[in-house]
Structure 1
Amino acid sequence: MKTSAIFVKSVLSAGIAVFTTAASANLYQFQFLANPDALKSSQDKSLDVLHTITIDSDKISSFSPSTLNATSTWLDGGISMTMTHQGKTVSLNSGLDPDSPYVTIPGYYYNEGFRNLSSKGIWFFALEFAPNSPFIDGNDLPYDPFVYGFLFAYQDNQAYQDFGSLWVAGDTSVLPNYQIPAVPEPSTALLGVMGALGLLVAAKRKRG
C-alpha cells in the first residue's frame, strides 16, 4: 500500500511538470471605454461603451493606418471588435460593408463608422451612427449613447493611447503589454502518465 502511494505521488508530480501552453503569441487585445461626453469634464458613466479589439498579428500585413482602414483586415480575422453597453455585447465586424475597400458601416442616410483611422487626436477611432441605422436598430442598441453625439474614447486611457501609437506610428513595442495569455494544455506525455495512473487504480481495485 505504501509503495502504491509513493508511485501515485511520483506520477502526479511528473504530470505537473509536463504541462505545455497553447501558442497564442500572435494574439493581442486592447480594451478601452468610450462615451459621447468623453471629451467633457464630466460624463454619465451609464453611457460608457467598452471597446474590445482583438488583433491576430499573423493576419496583419503591417501596422499602419492603411491596414487598419482596410475592410479585408477586419473581415479576414486580423482585427475583430466588440462593443459592450450595460451587459449587451455586439460585434462591429458584423456590420461592416464587405464591398467597401475601407472600413464603413452602411447607414440609412450615409455611411457610418469611424471618423478617423489615420492620425492621433480626439477623432481617432471615434464612432458615428445616425438615426435609422441598420446596424444600431438591427442590434436593438439604444440611441443614447450610440446615435446621440459621437462615441469618443476617453483620451487619457493608456490602452487607447497605445492602440493609436501601434497603428498610426507603427509602434509595435506596446504589443507585449496586451498579449493574450496562453492557455495551458496537457502535453502528450501528461496524457500517457495519467493513463498509467488509471491502470494503477484499476489494478488496485481488482486486488481489493
Structure 2
Amino acid sequence: MSSLKTLTVYYDLFGPDAMLTCTIKIDAVNLVTFSITSYLTVQFVLVNLDSLVDAHVDFVSFDPFLQQIAGPCTINLLRGFGNMKTLRLSNDTVECLSYAKTTLHLLPMFNNLTYLDVDLGATESTHEALMDILQKMPKLETLYIPTGFHPDVCMNGKGWILNSVPCCFKSCLKLFCISDFDGGVAEMELLKFVLKNATVLGEIQLFYTDAHLIVKLEVWLNLLASETTENLNSHSA
C-alpha cells in the first residue's frame, strides 16, 4: 500500500485464539510511523519499510512460557526496522528479547537510530538484554528510560559490566534520561556506568518526586568524583 504513512496494529488480548499463531505481512513502501501492540506469538513479515522513521513495539504477555517462545518472533519483527531513527520498546518486549539472548546477534545494525525509549521492568535479565541491544545501535544519541526501575530490583552492577561497553557510549551518546528516578541500587549503578563510559555525554536528566533525593544525589556524585580523581592519580603514578 504505497499511500500508507501511519500504521497502528492492536490485537485485543481477549480476541480469538486463532490469531495467536497467524502470520501478518505488511508491505508499505512509504510507511513513516509504525506502532504495534500484540501477543508475542504472532509472526509479522515486513517488506519495503525503508521509509520508516518511528517504531513502537509492545509485545504483551503475562505468560513466561509464551515469552520464551516469542523470542524469534520479536527478533524477526525488529529485523524489518533497519532504517528507523526512533524506537520505543516496552518492558515485555525487552523481556522477550532476554529469553532469546543466544540469538540477539541476529538483530540488524540500526545504523540510523538516534533515539531509544526503553521501559525496563523488575528482572535483571532485561537490563542485561538492553546492553546487548545497545551494541546494535552505533549512532544512538539519546537513551530514555521512562519509568525508572522497579523497586524490587537490587543490582550490584554486574549486569552493566559483564557486557562490553556499547560503541555508542564511546562516540555519540549525548543525552541520558530517567523518569520516576528513585535512587535505587540498580538506577545508581546504571548512572555510574553511564558517567564512566559515555565519553561524549553532554546532559543527564533525572526526574523524581522525592525532594530528599537531590541531597542523596549530591553526596553520591561527590563520592564518585573523588573516586574518579583517585583512580586518575593512581594511573598517573
Q: Which has the higher relative contact order, 1 or 2, with Cα contacts under 8 A spaced 6 or more apart?
A: 1
TM-score by length of 2: 0.21
TM-score (norm 1): 0.23
Larger Rg: 1
